[in-house]
Amino acid sequence: MQGFVGQTSFVVDSSPPQQDNGLGDAVEMSTMKQSDTELPSPPSEKARDSIDLRSTEKKFLLTIISRRSTQRAGLRYLRRGIDEQGFVANAVETEQVLSSTSWDKSSKTYSFLQIRGSIPLFFTQSPISLKPAPVIQHSVEANYSATKRHLERLKKEYGGLQIVNLVEKHGVEATVGNQYEKTVEKLNEEEFKGQDEAVAFEWFDFHSACRGMKFENVSLLLETLRNKLEAFGSTVEEAGQVTAKQRGVLRTNCMDCLDRTNVCQSSFGKFMLEAQLKAEGYDLAAQVDQQTQWFNTLWADNGDAVSKQYASTAAMKGDYTRTRKRNLGGTLNDLGLSLTRYYNGMVNDYFSQAAIDFLLGNVNSMVFQEFEAEMMTKDPAVSMLKMREQAIELSRRRVISDESEEFMGGWVLFSPHQSDTLRAMPFEEVVLLLTDAAIYLCRFDWNMDKVSSFERIDLAHVVGIKFGTYIISTVSPGQTDETKNVGFVVSYQPGKNDVTRTNTRTFSNLGITKTKTDRSRSSEEQQQQPQSALSSFLGGGRPKALPIRKIAFKAPYSQSSAAVTGEGPKLSEIQQVVSICADIERLAFLSQPGKEKPGTESIIEKGDIISLEEARQSTGLLDHISYSLKRLVWA
């Protein structure tokens, strides 16, 4: 949201004085004395401002402007990758401008653009590790679609596109790097056909190439991209008219898009500066000042500013950017910066992220209530409404195998981690499907967009439905609101058509896991098998009825921090619960002979599932201490 603006002036000479390199056999040069009026090295800026420039010298301004995107803005580990609109985290457009100090209209002004941004895939990294492994989220199709939107937007805005990927080819970063490369290759084959439209992809393993503090090996990358940089060129303005336009842009990324990216972007910037000065008749490589400290300092300041806004510290490898040298002191400084980033990621960033989202209008004021309860905020990379709709559709296609069953509705609710319980923590976001024959409780893997397991309960076995207050914690004010914390419980008599399946291609009926060798055996046979002849005789040959089981659901809050516009009024939590219970009862009666007639006694009961008082009694001292510690650290 802040970016960076920096400017410096420098002097170049079209005919720089020749320097003695101190060679012993240069006898003629060794007898000459240095004139008092000649300067063996460039004077300071203050000194140069106080004297007139020689006729062969000219003073220029170099300006760097970095513009941070307000889309997917945030802090390091809390905003990674891409969102469904194709915007990426830590997206920064950096413009390097070369101009004359006189601002004469006849003088040319050169502009060179570069961009950086997180790898355009859905992925996360945990802030609790010093070197966390990236975890790719959502399906291949979802990642492909988002990456396509991102690259199409860049091509439309900048023209040609050269991707520079600096992540490791081996180790923890390789997973996301490989997926990135495959996605771009597929896009080039299916969408960006043709030599002119294809997106060029260069994978330069920075850590491997520069191992042993040999950062000068970035020149290998520069040599590879030389032709592309020359082809893209710069935007040139003269006499108020654009005489040339940059034809493409380099999109550089590492994992954070900070340290490695800064080093490489400064090298690209210097290459283009040399080309621009050469067009003006000045050879930067022939100047007396070969350190170009003014250039290095400006780019290092830019890197520090971008880094502080994303990672709360100055950029690592800044010593090389400033001096073009790498030593042990710089390595130790980077270690300190790494530990500071680790602390900020663990402690300070969570509330800061909530504030950033609120200030940008991504969320409403409810974000602070949610933060008080959870001590973290949700990543709006994908619309929760859209994700839930997709989860319902995916679950419907995956679990309803009988084509004769008619799908009646689907909802995303919360449910205890363990079935047949009311308070087994943690509560999971599950998908509830209702057909004319059964209830399906689907446990969904939200990272991989797939059903991890599901339970099927025949509607003919439903014996009771209870709805009411459902409070599972009392540590924060929002969790004790009896009007918002509601849910329902469905009680049923287990039968042979009730099935539990998992994604391991096994399933269990009534708690009995079936394998490939015994799948042909019915559930009824499994129930009858354990009975002995004596028990069958004493019990009249009838199997004992299994105990009543229950599945519990808690309604999500109808209003959340997500800033959603253009939607009509929503059902309240209790209205949603009552509606679902009524649908289940109606369909259950149709599945139970004799109960479909009018006047049948309702199986719906209103009452507390877990009352506020019960929740307070079950919320122990340890829970309150844990919450207090979280507030002390994160709030």
Instruction: Output the pLDDT for position 524.
Output: 38
Distance, in Å, from the CA atom of 200 to the CA atom of 358, rounded to the nearest integer, reads 37
Which residue, of 289, 321, 346, is where some domain finishes?
A: 346
Looking at residue 152, what is its pLDDT? 96
Question: Domain check: are 392 and 313 in the same one?
Answer: no
Task: Indicate if 333 and 417 belong to the same structural domain.
Answer: no
Is 209 in the same domain as 304? yes
Q: Are residues 87 and 223 in the same domain?
A: yes
> What's the pLDDT at 213?
77
Tell me, yes or no, whether 341 and 403 share the same domain. Answer: no
pLDDT mean for each 10 residues of the chain (635 residues): 87 76 42 43 46 80 94 88 94 95 86 97 84 88 95 95 96 95 95 83 94 87 96 93 95 93 95 94 79 87 88 69 67 73 68 85 80 72 79 92 91 92 90 95 87 92 95 84 93 82 53 37 39 48 75 88 57 93 94 73 92 84 68 58
- The SS3 of residue 568 is coil
Count of alpha carbons within 13 angstroms of residue 635, beta-carbon side: 16
Judge if 390 and 342 occupy the same domain: no
Cα 630 from Cα 473, distance rounded (Å): 15
Pair 314, 453 in one domain: no
Q: CA 221 → CA 143, 265, 407, distances in Å?
A: 28, 11, 57
Q: Is the C-alpha dihedral spanning 159, 381, 355, 366 positive or negative?
A: positive
Same domain, 444 and 512: yes
* Same structural domain, 129 and 66: yes
Question: Quick check: is 249 in a domain?
Answer: yes
- Preceding peptide of 426 cis, ω within 30°: yes
Type of residue found at 420: D
The residues near 517 (Cβ < 8 Å, ≥ 6 apart) are: none
Q: How far is CA 471 from CA 63, 73, 555, 608, in A?
A: 58, 34, 11, 9
Do 304 and 389 belong together in one domain? no
567, part of any domain: yes
DSSP 8-state symbol, 396 = H
**C-alpha distance from residue 489 to each of 117, 436, 607, 610 (Å):** 47, 19, 10, 11
Give the residue numbers spanning the domain of 582.
384-519+543-634
The C-alpha torsion from 328 through 330 and 332 to 335, rounded to 10°, is -140
Residue 134 DSSP label = P
What is the spatial distance between Cα 155 and Cα 249, in angstroms, rounded to a whole number?
9
Q: Can you give the pTM of this predicted structure?
A: 0.73
Q: Please check whether residue 369 lies inside any domain of the structure.
A: no
- The pLDDT, as a whole number, for residue 629 is 67
Q: For the purposes of burial, counting CB atoms within 10 Å of the CB of 364, is it exposed (0-12), middle (13-18) or buried (19 or more)?
A: middle
Shared-domain flag, residues 569 and 628: yes
Count of domains forming the chain: 2
Beta bridge partners of residue 500, listed in sequence order: 455, 508
- The pLDDT value recorded for residue 194 is 72
Q: What is the DSSP string of 148-205?
A: HHHHHHHHHHHSEEEEEE-S-SSSTTHHHHHHHHHHHHHHHHHTS-STTTSPEEEE--
Beta strands in 419-510 (DSSP E): 428-435, 438-445, 450-458, 462-469, 486-492, 499-502, 507-509
- Does residue 255 lie in a domain region? yes
| Same-domain check for residues 81 and 215 | yes
Alpha-carbon radius of gyration of the chain: 33
Structure tokens at 495: 């039968």
Confidence at residue 353, expressed as pLDDT on a 0 to 100 scale:
85
Residue carrying structure tokens 């290092």: 300
- Whether 398 is covered by a domain: the verdict is yes
**pLDDT for residue 18:** 67
- Among the candidates 346, 367, 395, a domain finishes at 346
408: domain CATH number?
Answer: 2.30.29.30
- SS3 assignment, position 500: strand
Which among 259, 260, 233, 228 is positioned nearest to 244, based on CA atoms?
A: 233
The pLDDT of residue 239: 86
Q: From 321, 346, 371, give the residue that closes a domain.
A: 346
- Burial class from Cβ neighbours inside 10 Å (0-12, 13-18, 19+) for residue 9 reads middle
